Chain A
């Protein structure tokens, strides 16, 4: 563990922020006031956090439809996010994007992406820009296990290897492609074997263990920044909720979620490790928890009390000029 006390506090704060935000999204969604769908990130918090702690605002990420966790880990403000998820005028995308298209280019967050497999080519493009501009930035493509079967991902991986681009492909294997299990939908032995077939280092880690993710990501980022090309990291962490909120999840056993919540909670795993080594104290966790609860509550209240975009904005911003 090469992390400072501040790093550890930051890691826990981010994971907790994601957890509380998503749990709140869940209950708020059930009230029926939120437009569209939400795809919750609970259970996968250690992945976004372990990955994005290595990145700065000049590094870019391409995200997925399950993108709230990536946004938070990349530094997006939860108020701006809540405003966007409720499609309010002051949201990150002025209410035009919603949950599945949140982007904050100032933070290097190139957008959640409602097309499965949509963002890996874009992340490769960001890596190409970094290489051309010689600014030492890296790019990360978050990819679900479902997207692992999309041709765009294969094309993006091959191009990244051919051009030796500073990009890291982070597979979030949460066990399900929408309703369909990975044991059925992946024809290969596993996703990692496929990635290594493209000619890049490919590793698999426990995606519920922040430290495991953080460690492999450090190496991948070093490789990318020093011009040695892409890496694939497969992080295994089952999602706690359905494909979308409201999904009855008839395709998974009733005990599965109970078991992972009890034994594979990324926040609890982190806490135990840190407490065992006496790197943080219980009271610090509690302090963070209450700060986050308030922060998220304030964000939701602000969103609910903010106006929808004006009708005059309907035809705005299709082009810069036309």
Chain B
């Protein structure tokens, strides 16, 4: 076990898996630190967020491939290579950039297995950065995972802790279908104990962050962390909150959520993405139909508003669900009294 940040856990996952499997390659913008130009020590930087530091030095230009800024070519090349013998990790620097390459993801890679009658799927991982919090504004801050989760054929992973990030990323690389691996930029510095060896975490298995009896709170990605903080505050008021971190959205572990609702009778979903056709809506709708008889209060959706992500720090802070908001909303459903 080593104490490391989530950023280091992601790098470590790629490193250990690339050592084990020579068919794993990494391609993307500046993943080798930036080739060409007037030289320097670029490769040490590990790209814009430092996530690939050291990989080029260890694995070389054949496996750590700097590409032009051509997201369609990156995603398509990963998809084509995944059909013909490799297990590529393709980096989509910011998830917002899916807009310039979505065809290669959802019309091509996601459909291969079904469309080709199960001849083969696309064993590729798209690692991509999500989330607000650094003032990067409308085109570098979105939590667009519901768009990916909507697509049959894609799997979607949203890790919260360094331990989960490493285990889920290794599972993603070994998976025989395309996986969208969402890395929240505000979680990179989170620290935790991480095993040194390679290990996997099964998809579709939620993590119960803390147990409680009064309210179930599902927090997606970074929101699980905020929900955990809210639970500590609420416990002092005598409200016992069970926080669930789904870890993967596709597949989604609804059983764990339903079991929890059976116990608590109340559900809040905290989701950093926008509310319409969102994953929060999906969880709420399943809970409404499958746990109808257990529910003792309306289901509460705590999400971003239906707007782009603003750059101004005060607006951005108001955009992202906060600990205070979670506390207030959970308190409300906890105190709810049915009129029937």
Contact = CB atoms under 8 A, between A and B. Distances in A.
Contacts of B177: 319-320
B81 A132 contact: yes
User: What is the interface of chain B mostly: helix, strand, loop, or mixed?
Assistant: mixed
Contact of A156 (B23, B73, B176, B251): B73
Nearest to B250: A322
Interface size class of B (residues with CB under 8 A): 35 or more
A162 B68 contact: yes
A126 B83 contact: yes
Centre residue among B70, B76, B153 by max chain A CB count within 10 A: B76
Interface string A132-171: 1101010100000000000110011011001100000000
Interface string A85-101: 00000011111110001
B295 interface: no
B155 interface: yes
Contacts of A162: 67-68
B216 interface: no
Contact of B77 (A118, A124, A317): A124
B251 to A, nearest CB: 5
Interface in B49-70: 62-63, 65, 67-68, 70
B82 interface: yes
A310 to B, nearest CB: 13
Interface residues of A, number: 50
Nearest to B63: A132
Interface string B110-125: 0011111111110000
B266 to A, nearest CB: 29
Interface in B125-154: 152-153
A279 interface: no
A129 interface: yes
B118 A316 contact: yes
A317 B80 contact: no
A159 B73 contact: yes
Nearest to A104: B119
Given A62-B80, A317-B114, A319-B121, A155 B107 contact: no
A166 B241 CA distance: 58
Nearest to B178: A319
B85 interface: yes
B80 A121 contact: yes
Contacts of B175: 320
A155 B73 contact: yes
B13 interface: no
A118 to B, nearest CB: 6
A115 B72 contact: no
Contacts of A111: 112, 115-116
Interface string A109-120: 011010100101
A142 to B, nearest CB: 14
Contact of B108 (A122, A124, A139): A122
A105 interface: yes
A319 B113 contact: yes
A202 interface: no
A94 B176 CA distance: 20
A138 B48 CA distance: 33
Contacts of A101: 115-116
Nearest to A158: B68
Interface in B97-115: 103-104, 107-108, 112-115
Given A129-B84, A319-B177, A95 B73 contact: no
B213 to A, nearest CB: 32
Contact of A128 (B70, B86, B104): B86
Contacts of B118: 94, 316-317
Given A152-B72, A152-B73, A319-B155, A122 B117 contact: no
B72 A121 contact: yes
B25 interface: yes
10 contacts: A105-B116, A110-B80, A110-B83, A123-B80, A124-B80, A128-B86, A151-B72, A155-B71, A318-B114, A319-B121
